[in-house]
Amino acid sequence: MKNVLFGVLVICLFAACSPKQELYLIETDYGTMTVKLYDSTPQHRDNFKKLVSDGYYDDLLFHRVIKQFMIQGGDPNSRGAAPNARLGSGGPGYTIPAEIGAKHFKGALSAARQGDAVNPQKASSGSQFYVVQGKPATEQELNKMAEMKKITYTEEEKQKYLSQGGTPFLDNDYTVFGEVVEGLDVIDKIAMVKTAPGDRPVTDVKMKIRKK
Convert the pLDDT of each residue in 162-194 to its tens digit: 999 999 999 999 999 999 999 999 999 999 999
Q: For 147, which DSSP code?
A: H
What is 22-136+168-211's CATH number, 3.40.50.180, 2.40.100.10, 2.60.120.920, 3.40.190.10?
A: 2.40.100.10
| Nearest CA among 2, 66, 69, 60 for reference residue 27 | 60
From 83, 163, 161, 175, select the one nearest 129 (Cα to Cα): 175
Confidence of residue 10 (pLDDT cuts 50, 70, 90): very low
Report d(CA 203, CA 87) in Å as an integer.
14
- Strands, E assignment, the chain: 23-28, 31-37, 62-66, 70-73, 95-96, 108-111, 124-125, 129-132, 176-182, 208-211
CA distance 176 to 129: 9
Contact present, 182 and 109 (Cβ < 8 Å):
no
pLDDT score of 205: 98
pLDDT at 99 over 80: yes
- Any bridge partners for residue 124, and if so which? 96
Q: Is the dihedral of CA 10, 12, 16, 19 positive or negative?
A: positive
Q: Say which range, 3-12, 65-74, 101-110, has the weakest mean pLDDT.
A: 3-12
* pLDDT at residue 13 is higher than 60: no
- Provide the pLDDT for residue 9: 45
Q: What is the pLDDT of residue 17?
A: 45
Question: What is the distance between the alpha carbons of residues 155 and 151, in angstroms, rounded to a whole number?
Answer: 13
- The pLDDT value recorded for residue 20 is 63
- Model confidence at 43, pLDDT cuts 50, 70, 90, reads very high
* pLDDT tens digit sequence for 188-198: 999 999 999 99
